[in-house]
A and B are shown apart, each in its own frame.
Chain A
């Protein structure tokens, strides 16, 4: 019923206002669009001028560069010594005076092959699927005329969507709001419509406008929808300049007291745990982007300082020290207990291992047993992490000598920087929003070490922090249950067994189909990594990015090679993985300084590519040439490009097919590397059936990456080729040059 009336009403209204309002709407719309267009034209002009300026600057710079280079052609005006025998250009001026000048020949510069612009990258870059055809590819007039079917088919691939193809009824939020605002202001100017508009305005000033807009742009929804939308859009802009979900800058004056989650929200959601960057280029999918695992704390923790940090330390409170001592004793006792437990377990395990060694064939039964055992030990970190920690502490020692004295723990009496002194004492009692938020952020890190929190906050004394903490009573349990979701695997398992395990997995991979699936960190709380785990399902190892325990069965153990890790002796090499800096430390994969690395199996991640030079190829188009020589199996370069989905690759491939030039490279079952728009120099390597390079997809710290390696010893100046047909996943992708080659 209601609907009916509404409809009718709207129709009535429309009838009433349609002509004038529609006209108005249209004219306003056109006016706004005109303004927009002008604005845009101005912007383009400015951008154009800017670009021209930049180009001129670059040119000037280049010119200067050339001047310094001494290879500039000084076209001297005086004729050379042998000018008498040179060919001359002669002319007779109007007054009959003959003039002549010797002709100097300039070498014909050989034309270079065509090149389409591309952007250099050294790491893959993931891009989204394009749902709209951005441009109709131009391949010469003949093709456009002759092969119209191809373009049609291409457009069909994009569901007929072509960029910039929107109808004239294009209207976006911004334009919509502007239109309504303009219409609101307009009616007054129309004297003829005054009485009517007044009456209409009284009950609802807008509805007429929305009705008119709806009438002009029927695809934008009913007047009610438009109205709601308008309010929604304007509300936001009215209340605050920032969108509601944006936390004010913690360093800015308008900082607010917000819960920890909100303070950390941007950092947590944008940080890529795999690239260590915010909003990284590679892991754009939510699935490959795990948040922080709240369960794991990276040791060592900062224990409460033994000594008070100053006169205003909370430890100076009555009875505080005793409390602390008691707590500490408690903790130590717990620790001891834990250690004993651990030892017991160890023994048990060793016994069990002996038994297991006896019957090695049922390897598959082990996990269940292990799991049982795992459930017994609670709250102790994995042994594999020990090495990490000791390394860490070493590093700490290096960077801060103070820590050395305090038994791995920094002491409180560091020369700390504070702002407290700069203000009156009564001023810093107040807890501003920023202080509160910062405290909450820090408390999780430093727990009950109020001295450290105070020192880090710089605006509050230790005592104040303590008091605030009591007030907040951030009842974060002093020792979070560090129980891992997945039961850890057996401890101190023999490495030998592990390499066997790897081999087995590798074999399994080889025997089955060649499908290689993209790695996605698994996250299945309270479930061991069994057949249901996505990593296991995709026949990938669990990586450090997974939310499972570091003792997970499915984790790759890394290698302990002392050599170069370039033979099948190295489990990493065998598993077609690069050495993981967090797993393999014997080979120096963890060293930051690349000169200290003995491992040769880290070339892709470290970007240790060869110096390549581009020149017109001996075969077709451009080619890439090696500057220095390369040994057999030596790493040449990574094949970088845009990571696109298989679907997108199919769509793009259609165009590349037509161009007879493709830079597509299958990465795994899910993704394809396309070096057309972004890439590195190796994209110029041509195809050959007798190549000097080969491609290999490697698992590099959780990402599949394509490494190009030397198939034989390569001399300086040799052109690089690899066989496109036997790509990394042995899947034949179209390659233009190859077709040409096969005819030869």
Chain B
């Protein structure tokens, strides 16, 4: 040992550098393939996810809804539930829709206002603020969109003005005005019975005299222009109440509508917030265009509360308390997080408010630390950018989803280190449906060629396993690295079977038939016929009958003497006609007396079974055939009357007549 060490020590520095470089190269090579594979898988699962991570037990944090309702679920209660829901659906139709306007917000105005009123606010703190908001005249119009006739360019509409109200502009959140204007719309006005031409109902809000946002330029403009601008200062917002299928998608809650200039009346039913349900965060579809979302941030917005009530309310009501309505930040980051990781070690950190857990990934190769990432508190998986929520989930995810690596958790005082090395024992063999392996081309299993039976390799089990309580200890370095978990837990037919004689794969639809299981395989049938044919001293009639009998017995497999009468009966049923047609009647009689000689059938049995054969003969046309055969026999007998054959072998009983 010592000399070796010395050798190493005496290595020149250049050499060691070279070695280091080589090692580094090797390290990169080793990690390249799995990383690329996992990157590919990431993209694939983003495009067509196989499952949702939130369904995993360790990914609880990603689950946004509870299953509390399931606990109370009763099968018998389904009807009641549906009835209740129906009632609820029906309810809005019978009542009034009340809209309470909370205010018009325009952020562009705000800075100016803020800029203008700092001294004001400084001076009379809370008292002056409530009085401040200026009022905007808001017209509520019910817009009935009618069916477009062919010649019409735009769909004709019908507008009914429902009321006018004074809505505060940019009321302060801290000190909202005590009262808010409301408009009640009777639901009768939504009935389309009167004019069947009405396609849908829209609610149109028209802010008549919106102040111009750019206050600083206000004075600079000429008066004429200014007047014109007054006219143009009409902002509208539209909200679909009833679509053409007469569905109302509006539930009670706070709504924000962005106001647009009249020229382009765009309705954006965005930012809906369900108030009654603890103001839960509803994910917002981002991909429709962040431009529209931008509108909310920059453009004027009107906020109102929509209620379904049984009584109309008009004029001013007490202003309801403002609900938390900031749908932007926290929801965006759910399932739609944009990939931020790039590569194996370059993790972009993202600020998270609560957990200040710093994570360091350390890459090991040949038991040497090769690379270490910066400490960050990102809980995204570096390979699939999946946000795991907490460290435990992250580790569990890494361990289960990236088996090409080995992950070891090393808790350090201020940081959590995750050691990564290549898993030497990784078994990349296919563990899915065995049939897919021979199904060509690959992926045929998912083809849409029509229904194809597949082997079931997954059994649906209702199982509530006792899961060990999540503990970080499972990721620590194991004391003795033995592979106790190598045994496969899957049972069932998770392999490809082959036919025993041809070695061809057994397809799922063939699984149920037991091939090569019959008692009389074709070759054996042929064999028994050949064996009987080989006899030289057995005549053709005997051979034919013996073959028929053998095939019959082989097919049915009679096991005992007591079954022979039944065998004979079945033989006559199955092959009686054939026996007669082949002119084997006497051979059959001889066969029966042979069975009798062997003690397998009684005389009565012989008699009754022959009677059965007679019945068949009576029914059949073979009577003629038998008669003709008999005739041929007689003719031959007459032709060679007293043939010499009789004499050499005289029947044993010929001497008997003398005795008598």
Contacts and interface: CB of A to CB of B under 8 A. Distances in A.
Contact of A268 (B500, B503, B594, B612): B594
Given A266-B539, A278-B549, A445-B606, A432 B633 contact: yes
Interface stretch (A299-307, A486-494, A519-527): A299-307
Nearest to B547: A278
Interface in B632-659: 632-638, 643, 645-646, 649-654, 656-657, 659
Contacts of A388: 562
A581 B560 contact: yes
A255 B496 contact: no
B651 A298 contact: no
B594 A251 contact: no
Contact of B538 (A264, A266, A457, A615): A266
Contacts of A422: 623-624, 627
A251 B653 contact: no
B614 interface: yes
Interface hub of B542, B604, B660 (most chain A Cβ within 10 A) = B604
A247 B646 CA distance: 12
B493 interface: yes
Interface string A256-290: 11111111101110110101111101000000000
Contact of B590 (A122, A242, A250, A616): A250
Given A445-B606, A475-B659, A258 B500 contact: no
Interface in A430-464: 430, 432-434, 436, 438, 440-442, 444-447, 452, 455-459
A256 B646 contact: yes
B523 interface: yes
Contacts of A218: none
B607 A410 contact: yes
A716 B495 CA distance: 12
A119 B502 CA distance: 11
B651 A259 contact: yes
Nearest to B591: A267
Contacts of A589: 560
B410 interface: no
Contact of B567 (A105, A270, A276, A299): A276
A106 interface: yes
A681 B499 CA distance: 10
Contact of B651 (A75, A258, A475, A582): A258
A246 B537 contact: yes
A582 B600 CA distance: 11
Interface string B557-577: 111111111110100000000
A74 B449 contact: yes
* Main DSSP-derived SS at the B contact region: helix
Contact of B615 (A70, A417, A627): A417
Interface stretch (A41-49, A109-117, A646-654, A689-697): A109-117
Contacts of B425: none
B568 to A, nearest CB: 10
Interface in B603-634: 603-608, 610-612, 614-615, 617-618, 623-624, 626-627, 629-634
B437 interface: yes
A400 B610 CA distance: 11
B438 A701 contact: no
B618 A276 contact: no
A582 B599 contact: no
B395 to A, nearest CB: 32
Contacts of B452: 70-71
Interface hub of B438, B500, B507, B559 (most chain A Cβ within 10 A) = B559
Contacts of B569: 399
B251 interface: no
Interface stretch (A5-13, A177-185, A563-571, A602-610): A602-610
B553 A275 contact: yes
Contact of A392 (B442, B519, B602, B646): B602
A279 B546 CA distance: 9
Contact of A614 (B497, B605, B615): B497
Interface string B573-606: 0000000000111110111111111111111111
A414 interface: yes
B528 A281 contact: yes
Contacts of A276: 553, 558, 564, 567, 600
Interface stretch (A92-100, A167-175, A207-215, A466-474): A466-474
A107 B557 contact: no
B494 A717 contact: yes
B498 interface: yes
Contacts of A373: none
A322 to B, nearest CB: 19
Contacts of B546: 266-267, 270, 278-279
Interface hub of A115, A245, A416, A442 (most chain B Cβ within 10 A) = A442
Interface residues of B, number: 124
Contacts of A433: 633, 637, 643, 646
A180 B528 CA distance: 36
A609 B546 CA distance: 28
Interface string A499-535: 0000000000000000000000000000000000000
Interface stretch (B76-84, B146-154, B290-298, B509-517): B509-517
B623 A419 contact: yes
B597 A294 contact: yes
A112 B596 CA distance: 53
Contacts of A427: 634
Interface string A599-637: 000100111010111111000000001010000000000
Nearest to B606: A445
Nearest to B620: A417
A602 B546 CA distance: 27
Contact of B516 (A120, A402, A438): A120
A392 B565 contact: yes
B594 A292 contact: yes
Given A262-B649, A613-B493, A717-B492, A459 B608 contact: no
B357 interface: no
A71 B444 contact: yes
A191 B93 CA distance: 129
B94 interface: no
Contacts of B514: 611-612
B539 A279 contact: no
B506 interface: yes
Interface hub of A119, A255, A395, A592 (most chain B Cβ within 10 A) = A592
A39 interface: no
A112 B595 CA distance: 50
A249 interface: yes
Contacts of B654: 472
A716 B602 contact: no
Interface hub of A297, A445, A615 (most chain B Cβ within 10 A) = A445
A105 B497 CA distance: 24
A472 B657 contact: yes
A271 B535 CA distance: 13
28 contacts: A107-B440, A115-B503, A119-B523, A249-B539, A251-B587, A252-B540, A259-B650, A260-B652, A264-B590, A276-B600, A302-B606, A393-B604, A396-B565, A396-B605, A399-B565, A402-B608, A403-B608, A422-B624, A422-B627, A432-B633, A440-B653, A441-B593, A452-B607, A473-B653, A614-B497, A614-B498, A615-B497, A681-B516
Given A73-B440, A276-B558, 13 more contacts: A69-B509, A121-B524, A276-B553, A276-B567, A278-B532, A422-B627, A432-B634, A433-B646, A438-B589, A452-B607, A457-B589, A458-B614, A614-B499
Interface of A: 69-71, 73-75, 104-107, 109-110, 112, 115, 118-123, 242-243, 245-264, 266-268, 270-271, 273, 275-279, 281, 292-294, 296-302, 388-389, 391-393, 395-396, 399-400, 402-403, 408-410, 414-417, 419, 422-423, 427, 430, 432-434, 436, 438, 440-442, 444-447, 452, 455-459, 470-475, 544, 580-582, 585, 589-590, 592, 602, 605-607, 609, 611-616, 625, 627, 680-681, 684, 701, 715-718
Top 4 A-B residue pairs of the complex, sorted by shortest distance between their CB atoms: A581-B560, A473-B656, A249-B541, A417-B614
